[in-house]
Amino acid sequence: MLEIRKEVSGMDGGALGASLGLGGGAGLLESAATPMWRAPGKKDKDLAEKLLLTGVVLDTVVVTCALFISFWLRFCTPIHEIGVPSKLHLGAYAGYIGCGAFSLLFSMSYFKVYDRTRLLRFRHTAERTVKACALWFVGFLLVSLMFKFQPPVSRIFVVISAINVTTGLLAWRYAFHRLLQRSKVATELRQRVLFVGWNAESQKINESFEADAVHPYEVVGCVPSPGSQFRRKPTVPVLGEYSDLDQIFQENSINTVLLCDVDCVKGEIVGLANLCERAMVQFKIIPSYFQILVSGLHLETVSGVPVLGVSQLPLDVPTNFLLKRMVDIVGAVIGLILSAPLILIFGALVYMESPGPIFYRQRRMGRNGHTFSIIKIRSMRLDAERGTGARWCVKDDPRRLRVGAVMRSWNIDEVPQFWNVLKGEMSLVGPRPERPELIENFKDEIPHYNARHNAKPGITGWAQVKGLRGDTDLGERIRADLYYLENWNVLLDFQVMIMTFFHRDNAG
């Protein structure tokens, strides 16, 4: 979302998903003076800021205590005899503890742990806390290996610290979130949302709010958009007419207005934005014309003219691209070495059941539309597509070999693709590569399909670990791929790789 008042303020990635916020400047449209009242969201905002500050302070206390405990465990208990025997005074490690605490808080801030929309959502906060601790652990360990500090940083101390800080942060934050959810504070923290207009997108947003008991938003109701009536029947209360907005804001303590009808003329949108600004109510728009890669939307100026569009995604950043490539190379080498016995065993079983080539090459679509030959252990008959041409694999596909069913169930047929990764044609994690013949049939029919080709295809991916492979809903698969592209980070790649080991493919 983009929120603009008199200047642009950047992306707001809250739970309203793909929406843009616009706030009108006071001089954009002349309108009748509206009396000011106390902003309904002011108390909520002040409370959220105090709770976030409390979280930062208590995080600092918990992290510092955990590091002190880690020091005691490492150097003041029998553990100090493990490895290089050493006994140190606390003062020698005070600097390490201070830098460690500061860097961990910085990592948590980087992963947006301190976000007011997550104050009531422990699972979201916990995920980001674990990622922040993992990044901190890797960084702390690398520093201890690369630099020869005096006294040296104990690797065992780093490992104990990672366990202690992660456990401590999760424990106190769980208690904190449970306390918030069970108190009246939860009501104060929820943003009260009013829809202007009603369409499929607003219906979907409302359903997501209702399905999540700890969602930070509460839909109060809706009003028709200026100059028009509802195009579909709302499933939330209709609070009045558009002309009654001043009174509705006051009576219902509205924090956020969400405009659904983007067919309004410019003057009406600016007028609504100005009205919200005077009432100190956030104004946001559901951009029905932007339903793709919305996290990459940025407002920039070209010759002084503001231009909105999709710019850099995470993997467009050179450092991110190089980091992913380094992980791919290391992973591909290790994967080829470890999978060699599997390839030999299952290759022999394939040949025994169906004499012929063990490996199967097939043309697939890669990054930026370039094609390449994917390598798999053959799991089907030699004449599997004779008379039918290219088509999706389905559950219990009759074309499979008996050993092929086992391989596909555990993704063993995919292991030769480590060679494709090593060559740079694929990545360990990414959207699944599809056959050009199949893409040709639906790339013009399925919205946003080709956007997934902004990244290298992967052996595994977010869609695959969610069970979206083979003869499954293509729209859901595309949404999963776009989510991956928009939210990529190296920890997400490791998460997908770990999930792959516990995911059995039931697509056939």
The DSSP result for 123-188, as a single string, is HHHHHHHHHHHHHHHHHHHHHHHHS--SSPPPHHHHHHHHHHHHHHHHHHHHHHHHHHHTSTHHHH
As a whole number, mean pLDDT of residues 17-46 equals 38
Q: Which two tokens stand for residue 492?
A: 């997400």
CA distance 209 to 355: 56
Banded model confidence at residue 444, pLDDT cuts 50, 70, 90 = low
Banded model confidence at residue 503, pLDDT cuts 50, 70, 90 = low
Q: How many residues does the chain have?
A: 508
Give pLDDT, residue 6: 33
Residues 6 or more apart whose CB falls under 8 angstroms from that of 357 comprise 378, 382
Residues 6 or more apart whose CB falls under 8 angstroms from that of 130 comprise 166, 170
CB-CB neighbours of 362 under 10 Å: 12
Residues 6 or more apart whose CB falls under 8 angstroms from that of 451 comprise 292, 293, 478, 482, 485
CB-based burial, 163-192: b 16+ in 10 Å, e otherwise: ebbbebbbeebeebbeebbeeebbeebbbb
Which stretch of 102-106, 191-195, 261-265, 306-310 has the lowest confidence by average pLDDT? 306-310
Q: Which amino acid is at 73?
A: L
CA 201 vs CA 17, 205, 281, 324: distances in Å:
10, 6, 21, 34
Whether 111 contacts 193, CB under 8 Å:
no
CB-based burial, 409-439: b 16+ in 10 Å, e otherwise: eebbbbbbbbbbbbeebbbbbbbbbbbeebb
Ordered by where they begin, the domains of the chain are: 2-19+190-311 (3.40.50.720), 45-181 (no CATH), 316-501 (no CATH)
Q: How far is CA 240 from the centre of its chain?
A: 37
Banded model confidence at residue 133, pLDDT cuts 50, 70, 90 = very high
**∠331-332-333 over CA atoms, to 5°?**
95
pLDDT(18) > 50: no
- Of 170, 136, 172, 165, the residue nearest 58 (C-alpha): 172
CA distance 202 to 148: 57
CA distance 285 to 23: 10
pTM: 0.55
pLDDT(17) > 60: no
pLDDT(116) > 70: yes
Which stretch of 17-21, 168-172, 305-309, 407-411 has the lowest confidence by average pLDDT? 17-21
Maximum mean pLDDT: which of 244-253, 259-268, 330-339, 454-463: 330-339
CA distance 279 to 39: 6
Give pLDDT, residue 396: 60
* Cis status, amide bond into 151, omega within 30 of 0: yes
pLDDT(105) > 80: yes
DSSP state of 377: E
Residues 6 or more apart whose CB falls under 8 angstroms from that of 344 comprise none
Helix intervals (H) in 13-121: 42-75, 90-110
